[in-house]
Structures are given as structure tokens and as C-alpha cells.
Structure 1
Amino acid sequence: MARFTRAQLESFNGALVDDLVGGRVRLLFVGINPGLWTAAVNAHFARRGNRFWPALHAAGITPYEVDASDGMRADDLAMLAALGVGITNIVPTASARADELTRAELRAGGAALAAKVSALRPNVVA
């Protein structure tokens, strides 16, 4: 498991985190913005203890529980793409807390998200 000091994590403040979209997206999850751990490993909902991946598995959306704490494995990415599951954020840059985002960032992110949803045309946006 990856380990980071507070200073190392803070160095990822403002880092861009890639969307997880591949192939036909049927279900698009939208976060506010990525956290620092997510940016450090470039994997959504990567912080240990985050309930996102266990909840997806418990709901029957994924056949197994993804462990993104060290980054996404190639087989996890392939499985999510095959299932049509995608992940994006309103604001694509990392911060320690969502309340650090400016109104301008949120407005711009909202417009970018609307364009992204229009282009991807998922069945469901959550």
C-alpha cells in the first residue's frame, strides 16, 4: 500500500486527475473534485476506508471490490469499461477539501460537465 507524508500529499494540491471513461459509458459517477490521495495515485476514490468501491460491489454493479488505494490495475480498468462505468468530477483538480474550491471553479466545472455528459451520453448520471 502506498504511504504518503502530509507534505507529499499537499504537493498534489491542484494536480489534474484523469477521468475514468472508456468505451460506451452507461453509468457516469460525478464527484465534486478529487482528493489529494486520489491525485497521488491517479485513481478515483482511492483513499483507504472510502466506501465508494465497496458500495459498488455490494450493489452488484461490479463483480468484485476494487482496491484503488495504490492506483487502478489494468484489469480493474478493463472491467469498468466493459461494464460501462465511468467516473468524472465537476472540478478535475485535487484539493484537500471541496470547500477550498472557488465559485468560479465550480461554475466552469459545471459547464464542462454538461458538455462531457452531452458528449458521452450515459444512461445514468449519479
Structure 2
Amino acid sequence: MTRFTQAELEAARDRLVPDVVAGGLRVLFCGINPGLMTAATGHHFARPGNRFWPVLHLSGFTPRLLKPAEQGELLSYGLGITNVVARASARADELTAEEYREGGRLLREKVVRLAPRWLAVVGVTAYRVAFDDRRAQVGPQERVIGGTRVWVLPNPSGLNAVTTTPRP
């Protein structure tokens, strides 16, 4: 894995990271926003310690543990990745409520256009703000976007120590 200096990571602030999407996916995973490591590498969930890739494999979505640089392989499994807020930041708490709400609006449009079977939002707090659903809990939601069902997952970031995840 490439090592970045703090200055290189800071230079990635506000960068946009392209989605990994296609129409008709089984599951479209939606992160909160790209972190600086993700923006610096161009690969989603790239920070070491982020549990997204190990959990994706342990949950049976992929036949092997993928590296962030292999994110393009997700499409062959009917999976994709996007974010609620497109701009990169060091921490999700740097985002404003307005950014979350606008991101939720744009995400709904994207989901209607791409029509995945499921939208899996990683981060219940982000989901609550983006979709104005203060009582949402982790798990399946009553909300349907077009024909897409919604499931909220715990945030896989290593910064989120609330939920423990087994390591492979």
C-alpha cells in the first residue's frame, strides 16, 4: 500500500472519487463520503483499518477478500459503491447538514436511475440526516426508492469503534 504524507492527504481534501456503478445492481453500497485516503488513491474505503472490504467478503458478497484497488471487480458480482456526499474530508463530522440533505436528494435520483435491488447505506447517522428520518435504526427500512429497498448498516470506518467486526 502506498504511504502518503500528511500534506499529500490534505491535498486530496474536497476531491471527488468516481462511483463504481451500473444499472440493475443487486446492491449499491453507499458510504458517507470519501475519506482523504480514498481521495488520494481513488479507491473507495481505502484507509487501512476500514472494515468494509473484510465484512463484504465475510458476509458472502464476494468470493475472496478484495483490496480497494480491485473495486472495479464489484460490478461482476452485481455490487457497486457510491457516497451520500461526494467531496472528500478527513472526518464525516466536517460535513454540514445541508450537504447531507443535498446528498440524499442526489442519491435518490441516482437510485431511481440505476434501479439496484437494494441500497445499503453505511452509517445510520448519515442516513438519518440525508433522508430526514431521525428514528432510523440499523437494518431494513420501510422506505423504498422507486423499486429499491433500503438497508442501513453500521459505519465500517476504523474511526467508528461502536460496532466490532471480526477480522479474517
Give the aligned partner of residue 117 of structure 1: 111
Deviations 1:52-79 (A, max 9, x none): 10111111100111111xxx24xx51x3
Match of 2:76 among 76, 82, 98: 82
Deviations 1:6-48 (A, max 9, x none): 1110111100011111353110111110100000111111111
Whole-Å Cα distance in 1 between the matches of residues 97 and 58 of structure 2? 35
Match of 1:93 among 76, 87, 93: 87
How many residues are matched? Answer: 120
The structure where strand makes up a greater share of residues is: 2
1:59 and 2:59 matched:
yes
The structure where helix makes up a greater share of residues is: 1
CA contact (8 A) 2:23 2:114 kept: no
Give the aligned partner of residue 106 of structure 1: 100
CA contact (8 A) 2:25 2:78 kept: yes
Whole-Å Cα distance in 2 between the matches of residues 109 and 16 of structure 1? 13
Query: TM-score, normalized by length of structure 1?
Result: 0.90
Unmatched runs of 5 consecutive residues or more in structure 1: none
Please state whether the residue corresponding to 2:81 is helix, strand or coil: strand
Give the aligned partner of residue 42 of structure 1: 42
Q: Which has the higher contact order (CA 8 A, sep 6+)?
A: 1
**Closer/same/farther in 2, CA of residues 23 and 113 from structure 1, 3 Å limit:** closer
CA contact (8 A) 2:31 2:84 kept: yes
Please state whether the residue corresponding to 1:86 is helix, strand or coil: strand
Find runs of 4+ consecutive structure 1 residues off by over 6 angstroms. Answer: none
Please state whether the residue corresponding to 2:49 is helix, strand or coil: coil
Superposition CA RMSD, Å: 1.2
Query: TM-score, normalized by length of structure 2?
Result: 0.68
Whole-Å Cα distance in 2 between the matches of residues 47 and 23 of structure 1? 27
Please state whether the residue corresponding to 1:37 is helix, strand or coil: helix
Q: Per-residue deviation at 1:85?
A: 0.3
